[in-house]
Amino acid sequence: MKIAALQINPTVNDFDGNVALIEAAWRKAASLGAELCLAPELAVCGYPVLDLALQSGFVARNEAARDKLVALSKEIGAGLLFGLVMANESDCGKPLSNAAVLCEQGRVLAVKRKALLPTYDVFDERRYFEPDATPCVAEFRGVKLGLLICEDVWVERDLLGRLDYTLDPPADCVKQGAQVLLNISASPWGEGKHFFREKLCQSVAQRLKRPLFMCNQWGGNDDLLFDGASVGVDASGNTVARGKFFAEDIVLFDSNAQAWRADSIADQIDALCVGIADYFRKTGFKKALLGLSGGIDSALVACLASRALGPQNVTGITMPTRFSSKGSIEDSRKVAQALGIRFEEINIDGAFENLRTLCGKPGGLAEENLQARIRGMVLMTRSNAESALVLATGNQSELAVGYSTLYGDMCGALEVIGDLPKMRVYEMAKRFTEIPPDTHTKAPSAELRPNQTDQDSLPPYAQLDAILGEYLDKRLDADAIIKAGHDAAMVKRIARMVEIAEFKRRQAPIVLRVSAHAFGPGRRMPVAKK
């Protein structure tokens, strides 16, 4: 049997658009000889749907889309397995099911309801869906297919360690006679996730001695970025097909697998560009604004935005005060010219002086933050006037320790590099020749007071990132990090800075997620705590 993955980019709540995407890919795959096509998890309604799933009429819209696809199967020669939200038919438990429908020739051949519902990290499926452990094995053209949905295959203890579940849906399907395992997924990406997902599929296939084909969606939905990278594995655990990375694809599971590159920085660049492009496209915006400071962070965001949206749709604004260096202004101008984006210089020193007087000349940190807030106000006002979204330019290291100003440099619709530690920002920026050499080498500075550098308030970024990696990614407490050899006073200081900045992060823009432990829904910490 010739099987194809329809690696598409659904939009949440766009039922007509998603059905059209599925149909176009389905027809193309059928023309290439596919007998059975797989569309991603919840492809009909998009993933994640969050509380949209609870709105009245939502299930009915899923059902109407299902009926369209089943009817189309009369004229399209290939069968289709696709994901959608369905009502839970039981009178107890959660009201909904994360489901999949297999259809052919105008008939529904099988309905699978997801068995394993992730409720960790960014996932909260148990909030909406009722699990169903019943194995689903359907006969299709003489072959018995074991139907699985995303998390249903995340059961390999050797790879995952402690498991969240006691069930083994792939093994249960094999016990029911499945000859082939099919998995439709909406598995979000973090650095290296596509390689790990392939190992997982290989492990399942090898353990159960059955081929396994996984179809994964691609594209950006809010903070989550989906890489596609669909994979097919034979019964011996050998990869026979790989889908494109962050791109639309028809993946036929009978061809030679093309190798994915091993370049994590390039992968993150692709992911962030897709995240920017899809956020704008799916919210209906085209133009972006950002503040250009002459520093490495804003220069990198300008490069990513220009690549994602086209330089004609990006405007960089530098807003100097008496504390801004000529070098920073010129570096801002140079990166804008090299990229071909619009550039403006707006001197805000007069506004700063007027507001400083109005506020009673508070001095110190309050006056520093006032400058940042004037810049935020300019950007947000221009955003309103021009229907352009503001891109925030803070990195993960700054967000972690609160080295940012609420209603100032934290303004915006999207925090593009908020999941990149500062040292990774430097590494990534080297990939863009448009960034002037001086921007790479000068000491980082907010330029809010004379001769200021970031290291006046923070440890050196290499040291800060190392400790943050232990505290945030490995979730070690301060005592454990100190025992590992880090300076005790420094660790305690950084841990305190992280914790007291939680209230700021609650008000931050959406952070594009490219790691396993991004700020946002995957890290939920109380604000009021000891």
pLDDT in tens, 339-367: 999 999 999 999 999 999 999 999 999 99
Q: Are 470 and 486 in contact (CB under 8 A)?
A: yes
Give the per-residue pLDDT at 256: 67
Within 13 Å of residue 216, how many CA atoms lie on the same side as its CB? 31
Instruction: Considering the candidates 37, 41, 103, 282, report the single residue annotated as catalytic.
Output: 41
Q: Is 491 left (phi over 0), alpha (psi -120 to 50) or beta?
A: alpha
Count of other CB atoms within 10 angstroms of residue 93: 12
Query: Which residue shows structure tokens 């996984």?
Result: 214
pLDDT tens-place string over residues 485-515: 999 999 999 999 999 999 999 999 999 999 9
> What are the pLDDT tens digits along the chain (530 aa)?
899 999 999 999 999 999 999 999 999 999 999 999 999 999 999 999 999 999 999 999 999 999 999 999 999 999 999 999 999 988 899 999 999 999 999 999 999 999 999 999 999 999 999 999 999 999 999 999 999 999 999 999 999 998 989 999 999 999 999 999 999 999 999 999 999 999 999 999 999 999 999 999 999 999 999 999 999 999 999 999 999 999 999 999 976 678 899 999 999 999 999 999 999 999 999 999 999 999 999 999 999 999 999 999 999 999 999 998 998 999 999 999 999 999 999 999 999 999 999 999 999 999 999 999 999 999 999 999 999 999 999 999 999 999 999 999 999 999 999 999 999 999 999 999 999 999 999 888 877 888 888 787 888 999 999 999 999 999 999 999 999 999 999 999 999 999 999 999 999 999 999 998 899 988 889 999 88
Q: Where in the chain is the domain with CATH 3.60.110.10?
A: 3-255
Q: Are 136 and 173 in contact (CB under 8 A)?
A: yes
Omega of the bond leading into 170 within 30 degrees of 0 (cis) = no
Give the per-residue pLDDT at 82: 98
Q: Is there a catalytic annotation at residue 114?
A: yes
φ, ψ (nearest 5 deg) of residue 468: -65, -35
Residues 6+ apart with CB under 8 A from 79: 35, 36, 37, 73, 102, 103, 104, 109, 140, 141
Give the per-residue pLDDT at 456: 78
**Strand ranges of the sheet holding 180-185, from the earlier edge strand across to the other edge:** 137-140, 143-149, 180-185, 212-216, 231-233, 239-242
Q: Are 352 and 476 in contact (CB under 8 A)?
A: no
Q: Are 486 and 388 in contact (CB under 8 A)?
A: no
Q: Are 28 and 78 in contact (CB under 8 A)?
A: no
Q: Is 401 helix (H, G, I), strand (E, B) or coil?
A: helix
Give the per-residue pLDDT at 457: 81
Q: Is 196 left (phi over 0), alpha (psi -120 to 50) or beta?
A: alpha
Give the per-residue pLDDT at 257: 78
Instruction: Considering the candidates 114, 193, 282, 422, report the single residue annotated as catalytic.
Output: 114
Q: Are 217 and 40 in contact (CB under 8 A)?
A: yes
**Helix ranges (DSSP H) in 430-508:** 437-441, 461-468, 478-483, 488-500, 502-505
The CA distance from 62 to 168, in Å, is 28
Give the per-residue pLDDT at 418: 97
DSSP single-letter state for residue 228: B
Q: Which CA distances in Å does 369 have to 100, 178, 266, 405, 446? A: 51, 63, 35, 6, 10
The CA distance from 205 to 215, in Å, is 15
Query: Which residue shows structure tokens 């994964």?
Result: 216
Q: Which two tokens stand for residue 102?
A: 């297999």
Instruction: Considering the candidates 45, 103, 136, 150, report the single residue annotated as catalytic.
Output: 150
Give the per-residue pLDDT at 443: 85
Q: Are 123 and 78 in contact (CB under 8 A)?
A: no
Q: Are 112 and 149 in contact (CB under 8 A)?
A: yes
Q: Where in the chain is the domain with CATH 3.40.50.620?
A: 269-511
- Say which CATH topology domain 3-255 has: Nitrilase/N-carbamoyl-D-aminoacid amidohydrolase (3.60.110)
What homologous superfamily does CATH list for 269-511? HUPs (3.40.50.620)
Within 13 Å of residue 447, how many CA atoms lie on the same side as its CB? 21
Q: Are 8 and 278 in contact (CB under 8 A)?
A: no
